[in-house]
Amino acid sequence: MPRSSNTSLHQTLIGAGAIVVAAAMAYGAVSIPSSTGYSGIGPNFVPWAVAAALLVCGAWLVWEARTGGFREMEEPSGAARGDWRAFAWISAGVLANAALITTIGFVLSCALCFTLAVRGLRGAEGRPSGGVRQTIIDAATGLTISAPVFWLFTKVLSINLPGITGTGWI
């Protein structure tokens, strides 16, 4: 199926947008001090690495768009209109996480975010969102994912995340 020039323009704009975001990240990384830490890598390493990777991806997207469009791209799946209920569930999860992370801690707020987002994603697929049993399974899965992440960040990487208790284990 031949691509229209309008499609090619839109695809080019996506790549250009990635390049602009990479430039903004690089601009922000300039203000981060580069003094090396424990491992010889300073705190500005990750922002620079992400900016560089995003720049490469953006340039690649522009090249793809200018040389024939995104190759062998399938037609988008899904409904013609957005699923507002799914959007509301996912948004509620993200907003609840942001609002409650300092109150109930990282583990519980992320588990709540996961539970609400999964419910929304299930609904977006047209599957039943699930009853009480499925919600409990989703919450347990969210806890199973968020607890090790919390411990990795706080105990291994020494990054302070809000916990429930003062011990730092939950």
pLDDT tens for 55-81 read 999 999 999 988 887 776 777 776 677
- Give the DSSP letter of residue 153: I
Mean pLDDT over the full length of the chain:
85
pLDDT tens for 19-53 read 999 999 999 988 887 776 666 677 778 889 999 99
Report the amino acid identity of residue 16.
A
Cβ-contact 89, 120 below 8 angstroms: yes
Helices (H), the chain: 5-30, 45-66, 84-104, 106-124, 132-151
Choice between 82 and 113, residue whose per-residue pLDDT is larger: 113
Burial of residue 52 (number of CB atoms within 10 Å: 0-12, 13-18, 19+) = middle
In this model, does residue 149 exceed pLDDT 50?
A: yes
Place of tokens 């490469």: 56
What is the average per-residue pLDDT within 117-123? 92
What is the average per-residue pLDDT within 120-142? 89
Alpha carbons 101 and 94: distance in angstroms, whole number: 11
- Give the DSSP letter of residue 40: S
**Domain segments of the chain: what residues?**
5-66, 84-156
pLDDT score at 144 = 96
Choice between 160 and 34, residue whose per-residue pLDDT is larger: 160
Query: pTM of the full predicted structure?
Result: 0.59
pLDDT tens for 79-103 read 677 789 999 999 999 999 999 998 8
The token pair at 26 is 């690089």
- SS3 (DSSP) at 60: helix
Q: How far is CA 70 from CA 2, 50, 65, 124, 162, in A?
A: 11, 23, 6, 26, 42
